[in-house]
Structure 1
Amino acid sequence: MEFDKEFLDKLFKRAKENPRLRQNFDLRTSSADTSQHILCALLPGTKISIHRHEDTTETVICLCGKLDEVIYEEVVSYENGAEELPQGMDAQDVSRKVKYREIQRILLNPAEAKYGCQIPKGAWHTVEVIEPSVIFEAKDGAYK
C-alpha cells in the first residue's frame, strides 16, 4: 500500500464528511496485531479531549499540515482551593477538583522540519490543529 497524495486526499475528504472533523486509517493487517498504528487526518476545529495513555508512550509523526501537541500536568485542588488535602481531613469528606495546566506545546510542521514527537507514558495531552494535517500515531497495546 502506498501513502501518496491521492491516498491523503481521500482521507481528508472522509474527515470533512465526519462531524468530528477527523478520520483514522487503521494500519494493522490483522486483529491479532495488538499494537496501535494509524494514520489520522485532522481538520481545524476537531476536538480531542485531554487524555493519557497510562501504559505506553505515544509516537506522533506529522506527514503534512501543522498542529500543536499540547502536554499538561494534572492539578488537583480541594473545596477550599488548596492543592493539598486540608490537614486532618479525610479525602472522602472533601470535594476534589481536577484541572489541567499546560506545561509544553510542541509544534509539528514538516515545512519547518518539525516532524514529530514522543509523548511520555502517562502524560496528559491533546492536539490543536492549525491547518489540515495527517499524522502517524503509534502506541503499544490494543485500542480501548
Structure 2
Amino acid sequence: MRTIDSRELADLTAAAAERPRRRLNINLHQDAADSVQRMVIAFEPETYIRPHRHPAQFETFILLRGRGTLLSFADDGRVETLVELAEDRVRVVEIPPGTWHSLVSRAEGTLVVEVKPGPYQPTAEADFAAWAPPEGHKDTDRCRDWMAQCTIGERYTHRA
C-alpha cells in the first residue's frame, strides 16, 4: 500500500518551487509500463505546460490543494473551454482522448493527482500544439501568461 502524508506533500511542493520547470511529481504507479499511470503533481504559477493532446487516452486531474485552470482548445488554437479548479469549486476534470489542453496554476503550492492509461509514452511532437511555443522557447512566459487570462474564443499568436 502506498501512502503520501502531509509532510511528503509539503516537501514535494517546496522542491517544485526550486525546480527550473516549477513542477515536480511523485509517481504512485510502480513502473512506466503499468497499465494506469498515477501521480501527484506539484506545480507553481510560473510553470508552462505546452498545450498538447493524447490521441487515444483520457486524462483525469483531481485537485488536492490550490487553484488552477484547465483549458481546452480547438485544432486551430481557439480556446473552447476554461474549467476553474478550486477547493470550493470544481475538484475533478476528465479530458476526453484527442482533446488539445493545458493546465495553468493559479496559486503557489497547487497539487493535483493525474490519472491516465499506461503504459507511459512520451508525447509525440505531432501531439504538441504547433501554435504554442515549445518549453524553453523565449515566448513560453508570454504564452503561459496569455493562458492565465484568456477567454473562450480567443487564440494565441506564437512568435516564431
TM-score bucket (shorter structure): 0.7 to 0.9
Distance 1:119 1:103, change over 3 A: same
User: CA separation in 2, counterparts of 1:16 and 1:122?
Assistant: 30
> In 2, distance between residues paired with 1:18 and 1:49?
17
Percent of residue pairs bearing the same amino acid type? 30
Counterpart of 1:104 in structure 2 is 81
Mark the runs of 5 or more structure 2 residues left unpaired by the alignment: 122-160
Q: Which residue of 1 aligns with 2:152?
A: none
**Counterpart of 2:18?**
17
RCO (CA 8 Å, sep 6+): is it higher in 1 or 2?
Answer: 1
More strand by proportion, 1 or 2?
Answer: 1
Give the match for residue 54 of structure 2: 53
Larger radius of gyration: 1
2:100 is aligned to 124
Q: 1:131 is paired with a residue of what secondary structure?
A: coil
- The answer for unaligned runs of 5 or more in structure 1 is 76-99
Give the direction of change, closer, same or farther, for the CA distance of 1:141–1:29 in structure 2 (3 Å limit): closer
CA distance in 2, matches of 1:38, 1:11: 12
Are 1:62 and 2:63 counterparts? Answer: yes
Q: CA deviation at 1:13?
A: 1.3
Mapped to 2, the partners of 1:52 and 1:30 lie a distance apart of 22
Runs (4+) off by over 4 Å: none
Corresponding position of 1:86: none
Q: How many residues align?
A: 119
Q: Per the alignment, do residues 31 and 137 of structure 1 end up closer, same or farther by CA in structure 2, a change over 3 Å counting?
A: closer
TM-score, normalised relative to structure 1:
0.78
Q: Given the two structures, how large is their TM-score scaled by the length of structure 2?
A: 0.70
